[in-house]
Structure 1
């Protein structure tokens, strides 16, 4: 049997200690619309067919039974990382906007392929990245 296809990443997650601070940051600073709100999970619209899941650290280790089946438990300690894709012409507006919002850019990297990444922290110390193509061989500028 040949290997079935993967269409991409549907969702990525980050774990936080303070759900209210996370919501303020991801909704107010980054402008993401919350789609789901619960005690252990917030889900945000991160672009077409993409979701950012914010989990309450320490509250997700147990399996959760739903009407549709069991969601296996998972958890993470320490900071994690994920990146948002942005257009190259949005780098300077993001630099200015983050400064205006009091969010320090902790690093800026120009990649050998020519793309640029801006790195900063969320309120829980997770490392977020705004990345302008190209970074990876499969990063197509037409997206």
Structure 2
């Protein structure tokens, strides 16, 4: 019997300390569409056909009283990482936008296969990468 294996990542979660600052960054700076916000617990954004989940780390470690769904408590401490796919022209545009906004580009380089990545930090310190999609090809 061949074991099942996942074929796609549906959602990615990052944990933040200041949900308002995170929401402003991802909506206003990155232009993501907000799907929903629940108090000071979480805010979710649409990214293509996937979803970025931003959780207040302290809130998600506590079981939600009267929760509609049986999602187990979870959380993380410290900076996380995620990567958005962007082609070469989009990366150039992101560099220009971040520079104009005074957002530091922590790294800008080409991988051995030629794919380019840039890295910035969100307000919580999470490492946010923009990379050409062929980064993980062969």
TM-score norm. by structure 1 comes to 0.88
Higher helix share: 2
Structure 1 moving runs of 4+ over 3 Å? 63-67
Contact kept, 8 Å, 1:83 with 1:129, in 2: the verdict is: yes
Aligned positions of 1:8-87 closer than 5 A: 8-39=8-39, 40-48=41-49, 50-64=50-64, 66-67=67-68, 69-87=69-87
Residue 131 in 1 paired to residue 131 in 2? yes
Q: Which residue of the partner structure matches residue 141 of structure 1?
A: none
Question: RMSD over aligned Cα, in angstroms?
Answer: 1.4
Higher strand share: 1
Q: 1:2 to 1:63 in 2, by over 3 A?
A: farther
Distance 1:7 1:34 in 2: 25
The 3-state SS of whatever aligns with 1:14 is strand
TM-score norm. by structure 2 comes to 0.91
Distance 1:78 1:59 in 2: 15
The 3-state SS of whatever aligns with 1:130 is strand
Contact kept, 8 Å, 1:62 with 1:72, in 2: the verdict is: no
Gaps of 5+ in 1: 139-143
The 3-state SS of whatever aligns with 1:71 is coil
